[in-house]
Amino acid sequence: MEFTRSAGILLHPTSLPGKYGIGDLGNEAFKFIDFLKDAGQTLWQVFPLGPTGYGDSPYQCFSAFAGNPLLISPDKLKEEGFLSKKDLAKLPESTPQKIDYGKAIEYKKALHRKAYNNFVNDSKKLEKEFDEFCLQHKTWLDDYALFISAKEYHNGDAWSNWDKELVLRTEEAIKKLNEKLKDDIRYHKFVQFIFFRQWKAVRKYANENGIKIIGDMPIFIAYDSVDLWAHKELFTVDEEGKLTFVAGVPPDYFSATGQLWGNPLYKWKEMEKDEFLWWRKRFENLLGLVDIIRIDHFRGFEAYWKIPGDAETAIDGKWVKAPGEKLFLTLKKYLGDLPILAEDLGVITQQVEDLRDQFNFPGMKVLQFAFGKGMENKFLPHNYIPNCVVYTGTHDNDTTRAYFEKEKKNGGDIFTHLQKYLNYYGDNVVFELIRLAYSSVAVFVVIPMQDILNLGGEARMNFPSTLGGNWTWRFTWDQVEKELSKHYKDLTLLYDRPPGEMPEKEEIITVDE
């Protein structure tokens, strides 16, 4: 799919301002879209939108299809009559610029239960729409609602620790569980109904204002997920849930033992039997929520690092060929030309590049990786091709300001190279880098909100391979200077990335059962 020259901002909805402890899909989301429009932006990139599990990472979700209940707006629930003013009178304890997930989860769950009870007591309100939603999403929603209900029943324990009959999903055990947790299951379906309803309103408003949403698709699923529990035959586990092989990456100059991610891998030959039906449903579902899909760890579709399930490090893995070409040809056959961006960072072979280019997927360029003798020349803008997306940094890096302040203090070649390349020796290095990104030939430029606001290391989103304290950053409107939107709109005009009308969407063929 051909893209037009555009500019945008990377900001997950959890990072939006608001009074309920975590950013959500309420009025602040609409206000942010107004800011994007005023700033001449036509892209809003977000992280995966699924329900987060242990560690709060949007890249480790309980479902590859469901939405994150924490993003549901209490204000919108009140507007629809599901909550009262009294229900929202008590606010959670929180700080404006940091999420306390424990408190946010407790607070939101209580509100969702109240909203559901009010829905039940006034069953005529949206009942038909709710039933239609449940029918439309039945292929994943039934399993998801049962899984989350069962997980709560088992005090949050992983599914592999449940009773053996439930682990094996015997017909009798599933039937009994469905009956036992009937009301909880309907409640979780209602929560998903509200999420999808609120998100689609946000997306509709974005599209009406000329803004496309870039969504994120992690290549792998989480172990503790309904996807694995309900479809063990598609993943590298035995019927009792023991991992036979797991995902990761081999040793490199970052780690002598590689990275052991622990995610189950795909049984690709099994998936090919029905022409990748699970993948087709997954892409179709995400395209119902976003306009463009960024695929995380794209190289895994060409070949993946296969590690024994009982390994303690990633050393003993091996590269195994993946059917990426077959998969994307099949997706094209059923869904047409898909708007896909490929996260092609890391050790990328010619074969990975060939797969990316065969389907004309734009790859990623990151300016933080460009400068200094030990970095990669391919990230310097004079080496770009138009079919790519340029970022100042990613969610796994420090903010651009913090990164280069550290390099300046270190006195190495990175900061010196940066100054010479920019021909800039002042203090506002971050903006000059953003200007560089805008001026490049890259079809898309997407800047993290932290860099738009020129924030330091306190605004870093994630420290890879660590648990706790990640994904908590939020911005406040008092950080947004009065002339900021005009500043960026001028950039879009100067470098030919102006806002325009949204093109009509191509019809997506629904996946058959």
Q: How many residues can be counted in the chain?
A: 513
Q: Is 93 a catalytic residue?
A: no
Is 291 in a helix, a strand, or coil? coil
Encoded amino acid at 119, one letter:
F
- The residue among 168, 182, 172 whose CA lies nearest residue 230 is 168
Q: Is 396 a catalytic residue?
A: yes
d(CA 391, CA 421): 17
d(CA 296, CA 464): 14
* Given the residues 152, 396, 413, 432, the one annotated as active site: 396
Q: Which residues of 325-363 are buried (b: 16+ CB within 10 A; e: fewer)?
A: eebbebbeebbeebbbbbbbbeebeeebeebbeebebbb
**DSSP character string of 178-222:** HHHTHHHHHHHHHHHHHHHHHHHHHHHHHHHTT-EEEEEE-SSPP
* Given the residues 343, 344, 407, 451, the one annotated as active site: 343
- The residue among 138, 139, 162, 141 whose CA lies nearest residue 150 is 162
Q: Is 478 a catalytic residue?
A: no
Category of 384 on φ-ψ map: left (φ > 0), alpha (ψ -120 to 50) or beta:
beta
* Given the residues 296, 316, 376, 432, the one annotated as active site: 296
483: buried, middle or exposed (CB in 10 Å: 19+, 13-18, 0-12)? exposed
Residues noted as catalytic: 296, 343, 396
